[in-house]
Structure 1
């Protein structure tokens, strides 16, 4: 006996991934997007280190898609150690909202997602800009770049979300976003 076919979230993911066109919210309603104002949340990234790409709808009509979120956790792993950690969904939501505000189709370049304590210690030994208790080690931060937008533009979009920390690293051409306390730093 076969079950009648039904549309699953995974099926919706595949259907929407190829055809999704979303109007970008304005800066004034970014916080509404984070509170559930959008029906679909999507993240697009690539890694210059691993060559991997992801274009994933991870939230539809108030529910996170378990399989999609698991793929994002794997994508945002510590590429140096291959350790995978749960990425705080609030960080993903900030990333998705800021990307929509920037009105770009270009995927983020993920420079750093989760960092193992070993990787964080190694980076800290090479740079004074790496925090000892970095939120990267908790899966609550991401360092991102877009070639079509400046660090200032990206930082303004992430700051407009009023949802976490935003660091500007203009000399290194990236923005740090996290779901920690609301704060900004850098130039």
Structure 2
């Protein structure tokens, strides 16, 4: 056996053993997600929250299957930090975030500004700003507001838009990009 074959076999054996013990079947949409060019055989999200001080570096998908415990940890990380309310984060949103991150070719983690928002938090934010939607996809766990120090709002928005998989909002004045798995659309500057 050549060195290349041995290395390939070892990786496959390791992934297979790992998959057999911790993976759950992926929803149908993940199997046909052509928009995820660049997301890879392994999907990984790296984020931190300046609000809570928490950091996460999580592989949540391997070769077609979501890892249930990893998705659960990402969902907790993306909770409403003001109330600690949790809602399952739509895996399509995680996939869009991952694909955009990979397309930007960065190693830096996202700064998560907002993931899930409870109705109470969304109402409070709406009272403070006209830019907060009454029926925000944040309420459904289908959106994230993100920032990268090494990339501009325009660079992040272009990467997310190239996925053609959901909404992308540019908030240059506040230095963040909104990504969601709703209808394909874009807004902001």
TM value normalised by structure 2: 0.83
Instruction: Specify which of 17, 40, 43 is matched with residue 7 of structure 1.
Output: 17
Report the RMSD for the aligned CA atoms in angstroms: 2.1
Matching of residues 3-152 of structure 1 within 5 Å = 7-9=17-19, 32=34, 34=36, 38-152=40-154
Residue in 2 that maps onto 1:184? 186
What is the number of equivalent residue pairs in this alignment?
165
State the distance in 2 between where 1:158 and 1:178 align: 9
For the residues of structure 2 that align with 1:159 and 1:33, how far apart are their CA atoms?
Answer: 10
Q: Gapped runs of 5+ residues in structure 1?
A: 1-5, 14-30
Give the 3 Å change call, closer, same or farther, for CA 51–10 of structure 1 in structure 2. Answer: farther
Structure-2 residue corresponding to 1:21? none
Q: TM-score, normalised by structure 1?
A: 0.83
Question: In the alignment, is the contact (CA less than 8 A) between 1:112 and 1:143 conserved in 2?
Answer: yes
32-41 vs 138-147, which moves further: 32-41
Cα distance between partner residues in 2 of 1:102 and 1:39: 17
CA distance in structure 2 between the partners assigned to 1:153 and 1:35 by the alignment:
17
Q: Match of 2:28?
A: none
Name structure 2 gaps, 5 residues minimum. 1-15, 24-32
